[in-house]
């Protein structure tokens, strides 16, 4: 791989393995890479290792083996494991993890070096929550909490955005709008994003590319546009027919 | 090379080292007791094993068994009565039933002797109304079982309250539709589901029985704990006392093992969608009414009204003590000691909870569990361990550097505080750990990903959210320290006098009436705190 390529890649992992109990592997020999400015969906049924992959990228868990390179810098290998606050990564948690004792403005300003009111308002405006800054998390709806979590994650300007099942707590009527908004915001800010889901429709609507996980292994990767086309494309790492069957199986498992 | 060894360097952090440091610091007394076994027995060991050991073992076993059974009967029946039945004044009774815990076992023991003994209150009442005085001999094993059970049953009551009030109402309906009577429902469904709670409560009772010194000493019953004191103080044989202490540790380990075994692999988790037992409370009628009165009346009368009445009777005859400044001074010293112990335990417990969360080395994970074992270790053992380790440290500095630092250790408040922290760390640790588990990891993880280090996330996010648990941890250690006797007796600085020491000393001198004012003040302070804790908990049920 050339240096030029290295610079364009925001994430590269090599041989990533993680076990929580020393016997069963939540993730095994995981190889993924993502270019700057792209959105990647990690798809798989429950227990397939999706959340584990995200936690390893964020530095919240340590792998048994393998390495992670973020923005050209090795952040995890056998010798070191950079703490989460030194990785330039932001994460939206599945249950949002908003700080219950802080109001919306304080939540959003939390990660800013110098949290000015204008900057907080700009972010709240971006996620469509202008005027809600004095409210506390428990006073907001699920969709609003999700937007606060997104604004809070964007505030420190991370280069890579990780989203852990960001739509799982939203009802169907909200999902479509928020999916579109999320894609717009990520593209507008020229970020890279990895989000996990077990809903193929989430992935098809937002992601540029997809990674399929099953029992801790990457079983396929593809570009969203190729999956939507009928003919086989060079970006698909497996036979297209095989991939379709796999996608159906994964979706079936997820259901 | 396994992954763990390969990653040892990567995963070792300052937090792991700090956790190891705290673990070693808290392990000192037990290590000293266990290590000193290698030095061999003392001179009186043969004499002890020949004449006393079987008696210590027998009495301790009978006490543990008797108090366990009696406190289970009292605690379970009272908890069931208030959880299942509605009656006037129920809410007050629910809270009053916790209060015998405010009366230390040794004070309960004096009160009963004062009431039932020769020349006691009962005899005077009988004389007043013209009956021949009965003069019940109460200072025996049976009497000790009775007073210990009455002041310790609230442990069983408290855990059963949680278990019974968490039973889904649907279980009761299902059982009724299947044709089971109320009694059958209690014995075949409610009681088996409450087994872990009962075992947990009885385990705490057992630990307190093994820890008891004041009551057993006063009633002249030889137990392991009184034996350790006697061997140490009267026979002046610290090594044999240490051997006895090690045997007592074995006893404790067996109790821990049995409590685990009793739980087995059964599931006791119930899932409720239809509200809990409290929503289905019924009014007792006929013979059931009398059972309910008996179930709540027995512990309230014998565990609260009778001992308190006796103490108040004594105080009314000793008005000088009631307003004396010395009582206020003793009370103040008690308060200060208990507050210091509570703060020390809170700081250590917070350190343990968070350091073990931050530590990445699997090999150090058991430290947090091992460090809180002190609650199951009787005060007499901690006393011996603390004095033994003080001696080692003082000798080490004297031999190697010629420093005389004995004054820092012998009869020092710091050593007493350390011993309290060792004994009561679990009391502060468990509510904090439970609250932390409830909060989960994502809040802290979110703070890390927003740029915080561990300490900043702790200060800004985790500690503010832990305040309720920290307050209850402080209260619980405060209460336990106020009541504590054996450790305070062994390790207290010469000029320190606490309410528990004052009550014990007067009672030992057979000046029971003078023991009453400090005892009452102690009970009052503990009751206020217990009342406020139980008020908060019961409000949720």
Reported ipTM: 0.80
Closest CB to A99: pick one of B7, B441, B461.
Answer: B461
Per-position DSSP letters for B475-497, written without gaps between them:
HHHHHHHHH--HHHHHH--TT--
State whether residue A106 sits within 8 Å of chain B by CB: no
Mean pLDDT by 10 residues, chain B (541 residues): 69 88 87 80 80 88 95 95 89 90 89 84 83 78 95 91 79 75 82 84 87 90 88 81 82 77 57 50 81 94 94 78 74 93 95 90 81 78 85 88 82 89 88 83 92 92 90 88 89 88 87 85 88 65 56
Using a CB-CB cut-off of 8 Å, the residues of chain B touching A153 are 449-450
Q: What is the mean pLDDT of chain A?
A: 83
Using a CB-CB cut-off of 8 Å, the residues of chain A touching B448 are 59-60, 83-85
Chain B segment 386-425 residues within 8 A of A by beta carbon are: none
Residue A149 has pLDDT above 60, yes or no: yes
Closest CB to A156: pick one of B6, B443, B450.
Answer: B450
The CA-atom distances, in angstroms, between B215 and each of B141, B148, B424, B505 are 11, 8, 21, 12
Chain B segment 461-500 residues within 8 A of A by beta carbon are: 461, 464-465
- Closest Cα in chain A to B451: A85
- Alpha carbon A187 to its chain's center: 14
Across the interface, do A83 and B453 touch by the CB < 8 Å criterion?
yes
| Number of Cβ pairs < 8 A linking chain A and chain B | 69
The CA-atom distances, in angstroms, between A2 and each of A7, A9, A11, A72, B290 are 9, 11, 15, 11, 88
Instruction: Give pairs for A240-246: CB < 8 Å, separation 24+.
Output: A243/A212, A246/A212, A246/A214, A246/A219, A246/A220
Using a CB-CB cut-off of 8 Å, the residues of chain B touching A97 are 442-443, 445-446
Higher pLDDT, A104 or B262: A104
Residue A61 has pLDDT above 80, yes or no: yes
Using a CB-CB cut-off of 8 Å, the residues of chain B touching A58 are 445, 449
CB B530 within 8 A of CB B97: no
Q: Tell me which DSSP letter residue A60 carries.
A: S
* Burial grade of B360 (CB within 10 A; 0-12, 13-18, 19 or more): middle
Residue A251 has pLDDT above 70, yes or no: no
B190-200 burial code (b ≥16 CB/10 A, e <16):
bbebbebbbbb
State whether residue A91 sits within 8 Å of chain B by CB: yes
CB B97 within 8 A of CB B299: yes
Across the interface, do A97 and B451 touch by the CB < 8 Å criterion?
no
Q: What is the pLDDT of residue A236?
A: 46
Q: What is the pLDDT of residue A233?
A: 44
Q: What is the pLDDT of residue B416?
A: 92
Two tokens at B169?
């109402």
Across the interface, do B10 and A62 touch by the CB < 8 Å criterion?
yes
β-pair partners for A34: A11
Q: What is the pLDDT of residues B444-479, one digit of tens each?
A: 999 999 999 999 999 999 999 998 889 888 988 998
Across the interface, do A155 and B450 touch by the CB < 8 Å criterion?
yes
Q: Which residues contact B117 (CB under 8 A, 6 or more apart)?
A: B135, B136, B138, B139
Nearest to B517 by CA among B303, B304, B309, B321: B321
State whether residue B449 sits within 8 Å of chain A by CB: yes
Across the interface, do A156 and B7 touch by the CB < 8 Å criterion?
no
Q: How many other CB atoms sit within 10 Å of the CB of residue A48? A: 26
Two tokens at A69?
């390179």
- In this prediction, residues A140-152 reach a mean pLDDT of 90
In which band, very low, low, confident or very high, does the pLDDT at A224 lie, cut at 50, 70 and 90? confident
Q: How many CA atoms lie within 13 A of B191 on its CB side?
A: 14
- In this prediction, residues A199-216 reach a mean pLDDT of 86
- Closest Cα in chain A to B450: A111
Across the interface, do A58 and B445 touch by the CB < 8 Å criterion?
yes
Q: What is the pLDDT of residue B150?
A: 95
Distance, CA of B59 to CA of B144 (rounded, Å): 11
Instruction: Give all strands of the β-sheet with A73-76 in edge-to-edge order.
Output: A25-35, A9-19, A65-70, A73-76
Closest CB to A79: pick one of B10, B360, B442.
Answer: B10
pTM for this predicted structure:
0.80
Across the interface, do B11 and A81 touch by the CB < 8 Å criterion?
yes
Residue showing tokens 């090594």:
B239
State whether residue B357 sits within 8 Å of chain A by CB: no
Q: What is the pLDDT of residue B280?
A: 64
Per-position DSSP letters for B146-172, written without gaps between them:
HHHHHHHHHHHHHHHHHHHHTSBHHHH
Using a CB-CB cut-off of 8 Å, the residues of chain A touching B451 are 85, 111, 113, 156
Phi first, then psi, for residue B118 (nearest 5°) are -60, 130
What 3-state DSSP class applies to B372?
Answer: coil
- In this prediction, residues A111-116 reach a mean pLDDT of 79
Nearest to B448 by CA among A124, A143, A146, A99: A99
Nearest to B306 by CA among B66, B121, B486: B121
Residue showing tokens 């969906």:
A41
CB B410 within 8 A of CB B416: no
- In this prediction, residues A99-113 reach a mean pLDDT of 90
- Closest Cα in chain A to B464: A101
Chain A segment 142-161 residues within 8 A of B by beta carbon are: 152-153, 155-156
The alpha-carbon gap from B453 to the nearest alpha carbon of chain A, in Å, equals: 7
B411-432 burial code (b ≥16 CB/10 A, e <16):
ebeebbbbbbbbbbbbbbbbbb
Q: What is the pLDDT of residue B373?
A: 76
Across the interface, do B442 and A155 touch by the CB < 8 Å criterion?
no
What 3-state DSSP class applies to B292?
Answer: helix
State whether residue A79 sits within 8 Å of chain B by CB: yes
Phi first, then psi, for residue B54 (nearest 5°) are -65, -35
β-pair partners for A160: A89, A192
Chain A segment 161-220 residues within 8 A of B by beta carbon are: none
Determine the residue among B363, B451, B452, B465 to mutate to test chain A binding: the one whose Cβ has the most chain A Cβ atoms within 10 Å: B451
Nearest to A245 by CA among A231, A227, A233: A227
Q: Which residues contact B6 (CB under 8 A, 6 or more apart)?
A: A78
Nearest to A195 by CA among A104, A123, A94: A94
- Closest Cα in chain B to A76: B10
Q: What is the pLDDT of residue B45?
A: 83
Using a CB-CB cut-off of 8 Å, the residues of chain B touching A103 are none
Closest CB to A80: pick one of B10, B453, B460.
Answer: B10
């Amino acid at each position: 791989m050339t240096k030029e390529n290295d610079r364009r890649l925001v994430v590269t992992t090599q041989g990533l393995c993680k076990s929580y109990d020393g016997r069963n592997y939540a993730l095994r020999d995981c190889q993924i890479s993502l270019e700057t400015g792209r959105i990647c969906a990690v798809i798989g049924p429950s227990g397939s290792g999706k959340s584990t992959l995200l936690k390893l990228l964020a530095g919240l868990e340590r792998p048994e083996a393998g390495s992670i390179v973020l923005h050209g810098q090795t952040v995890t290998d056998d010798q070191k494991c950079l703490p989460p606050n030194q990785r330039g990564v932001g994460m939206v948690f599945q249950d949002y993890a908003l700080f219950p004792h802080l109001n919306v403005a304080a939540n959003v300003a939390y990660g800013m070096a110098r949290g000015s009111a204008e900057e907080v308002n700009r972010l709240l405006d971006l996620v469509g929550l202008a005027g809600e800054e004095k409210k506390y998390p428990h006073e907001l709806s699920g969709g609003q909490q999700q937007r606060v979590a997104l604004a809070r994650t964007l505030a420190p300007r991370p280069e890579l955005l990780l989203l852990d099942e960001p739509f799982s707590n939203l009802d169907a009527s909200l999902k479509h709008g928020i999916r579109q908004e999320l894609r717009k915001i990520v593209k507008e800010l020229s970020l890279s994003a990895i989000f996990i889901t077990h809903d193929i429709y989430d992935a098809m609507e937002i992601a540029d590319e997809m990674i399929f996980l099953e029992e801790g292994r990457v079983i396929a990767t593809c570009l969203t546009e190729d999956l939507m086309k009928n003919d086989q494309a060079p970006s698909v790492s497996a036979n297209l027919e095989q991939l379709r069957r796999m996608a159906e199986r994964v979706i079936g498992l997820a259901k | 090379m396994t992954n763990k060894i390969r990653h040892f360097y990567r995963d070792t952090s300052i937090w792991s080292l700090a956790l190891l440091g705290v673990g070693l610091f808290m392990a000192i007394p037990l290590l000293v007791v266990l290590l000193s076994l290698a030095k061999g027995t003392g001179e009186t060991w043969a004499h002890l094993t020949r004449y006393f050991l079987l008696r210590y073992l027998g009495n301790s076993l009978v006490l543990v068994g008797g108090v366990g059974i009696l406190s289970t009967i009292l605690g379970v029946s009272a908890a069931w009565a208030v959880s299942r039945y509605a009656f006037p004044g129920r809410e007050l009774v629910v809270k009053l039933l916790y209060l015998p815990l405010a009366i230390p076992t040794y004070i309960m023991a004096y009160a009963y002797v004062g009431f039932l003994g020769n020349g006691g209150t009962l005899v005077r009442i009988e004389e007043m109304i013209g009956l021949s005085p009965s003069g019940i001999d109460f200072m025996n094993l049976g009497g000790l079982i009775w007073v210990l059970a009455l002041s310790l049953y609230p442990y069983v009551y408290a855990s059963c309250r949680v278990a019974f009030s968490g039973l889904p109402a649907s279980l009761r309906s299902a059982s009724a539709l299947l044709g089971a009577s109320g009694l059958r429902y209690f014995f075949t469904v409610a009681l088996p589901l409450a087994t872990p709670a009962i075992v947990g409560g009885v385990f705490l009772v057992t630990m307190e029985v093994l820890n008891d010194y004041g009551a057993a000493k006063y009633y002249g019953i030889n137990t392991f704990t009184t034996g350790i004191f006697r061997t140490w103080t009267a026979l002046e044989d610290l090594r044999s006392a240490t051997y006895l202490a090690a045997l007592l540790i074995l006893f404790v380990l067996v109790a821990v093992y049995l409590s685990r075994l009793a739980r087995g692999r059964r599931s006791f988790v119930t899932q409720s969608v239809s509200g809990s037992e409290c929503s289905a409370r019924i009014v007792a009628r006929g013979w059931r009414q009398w059972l309910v009165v008996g179930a709540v009346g027995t512990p309230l009368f014998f565990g609260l009204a009778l001992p308190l009445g006796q103490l108040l009777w004594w105080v009314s005859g000793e008005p000088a003590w009631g307003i004396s400044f010395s009582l206020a001074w003793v009370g103040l010293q008690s308060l200060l000691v208990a507050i210091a112990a509570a703060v020390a335990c809170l700081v250590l417990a917070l350190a343990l909870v968070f350091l073990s969360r931050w530590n990445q080395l699997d090999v150090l994970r058991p430290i947090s569990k091992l460090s809180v074992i002190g609650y199951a270790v009787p005060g007499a053992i901690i006393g011996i361990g603390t004095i033994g380790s003080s001696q080692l440290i003082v000798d080490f500095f004297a031999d190697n550097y010629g420093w005389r630092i004995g004054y820092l250790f012998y009869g020092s408040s710091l050593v007493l505080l350390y011993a309290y922290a060792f004994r009561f760390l679990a009391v502060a640790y468990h509510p904090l750990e439970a609250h932390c588990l409830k909060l989960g990891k994502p809040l802290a993880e979110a703070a890390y990903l927003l740029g915080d280090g561990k300490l900043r996330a702790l200060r800004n996010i985790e500690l503010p959210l832990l305040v309720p648990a920290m307050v209850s941890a402080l209260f619980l250690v405060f209460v336990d320290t106020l009541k504590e006797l054996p450790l305070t007796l062994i390790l207290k600085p010469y000029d320190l006098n606490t309410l528990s020491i004052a009550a014990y000393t007067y009672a030992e001198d057979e000046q029971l009436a003078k023991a009453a004012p400090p005892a009452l003040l102690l009970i009052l302070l503990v009751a206020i705190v217990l009342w406020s804790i139980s008020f908060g908990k019961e409000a949720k049920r």
